[in-house]
Each structure stands twice: as C-alpha cells, then as structure tokens.
C-alpha cells in the first residue's frame, strides 16, 4: 500500500513538473492558462491510476518511478492525440506568426534586466 501511495505522489509531482515547465516554455507564444496548467497533473494522475489498475501495484521504488514516467508519457500522448488528431485543433501558439528569437536568450535576458528600485 505504501508503494502505491509513493507512486501516486511521484506521479503527481511529475504532472506538476511537466505543467510548470510547459507553461514556462510557452510563455513567449501564448498567455498562461490555469485550465491547461491543472489539466496536465489531473490527466497524469488518471493515467497513473490506470497503470496501477492494469499492471498492479509497483513492487519497489524503481518500478514506481517507471510508473510515474509512463504516466507522464501517456498524458502527453493522450492530450496530443485528443487535441491534434481527434479534434483537429491547432494549439494557439502555432496560430500566431512565428518568431525565431531564441527562447532561452529572451528568458535569460529578463533575469538580468536592470530594475528601477528607487521608486
């Protein structure tokens, strides 16, 4: 039972990790969406539950990590399949004119911008 609880915790962490860095990655192209942000961990946990039901509880820590990585992968596949293949909906970041500005350079430049602290 402890293995299942730790596995679900790892799966939830993985879902929030993917959501956080996905939101960070897409900030140049689309505005932040709370709905999209929480969709990732919720579907990841659902995929993790499906894995536990189909495959049984993990027998050790490494197998639990494998379940967590598999749940994150299944979430990405499910969301991409539903939105792109079934609904034929293009993500909003691809509907705007593309800009090749070097996303890493722009993000790092924001970290080192001088701010006016005299106000």
- Cα(69)–Cα(9) distance, integer angstroms: 12
Whole-angstrom CA distances from 12 to 16, 67, 84 are 6, 11, 25
**How confident is the model at residue 74, as a pLDDT?**
92
Q: Are 33 and 93 in contact (CB under 8 A)?
A: no
**How confident is the model at residue 26, as a pLDDT?**
76
**How confident is the model at residue 46, as a pLDDT?**
93
Q: Provide the residue-wise pLDDT of the chain in tens; the chain has 119 residues.
A: 777 788 888 888 888 998 898 888 877 777 788 888 898 999 999 999 999 899 988 888 888 888 888 999 999 899 888 877 776 766 666 666 655 556 666 666 666 665 555 54
53 exposure class (CB count in 10 Å sphere: 0-12, 13-18, 19+): exposed
Does the CA dihedral 32-37-38-39 come out positive or negative? positive
**How confident is the model at residue 71, as a pLDDT?**
92
**How confident is the model at residue 63, as a pLDDT?**
85
What six digits make up the tokens of 11? Answer: 């799966």
The verdict on pTM exceeding 0.85 is: no
**How confident is the model at residue 116, as a pLDDT?**
52
Whole-angstrom CA distances from 22 to 6, 14, 44 are 24, 12, 14
């Amino acid at each position: 039972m402890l293995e299942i609880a730790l596995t679900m915790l790892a799966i939830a962490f993985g879902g929030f990790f993917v959501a956080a860095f996905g939101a960070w990655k897409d900030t140049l192209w689309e505005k932040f969406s709370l709905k999209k942000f929480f969709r990732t961990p919720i579907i990841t946990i659902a995929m993790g539950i499906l894995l536990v039901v189909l495959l049984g509880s993990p027998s050790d820590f490494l197998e639990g990590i494998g379940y967590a990585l598999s749940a994150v992968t299944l979430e990405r596949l499910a969301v991409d399949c539903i939105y792109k293949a079934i609904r034929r909906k293009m993500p909003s970041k691809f509907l705007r004119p593309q800009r090749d500005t070097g996303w890493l350079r722009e993000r790092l430049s924001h970290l080192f911008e001088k701010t006016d602290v005299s106000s």
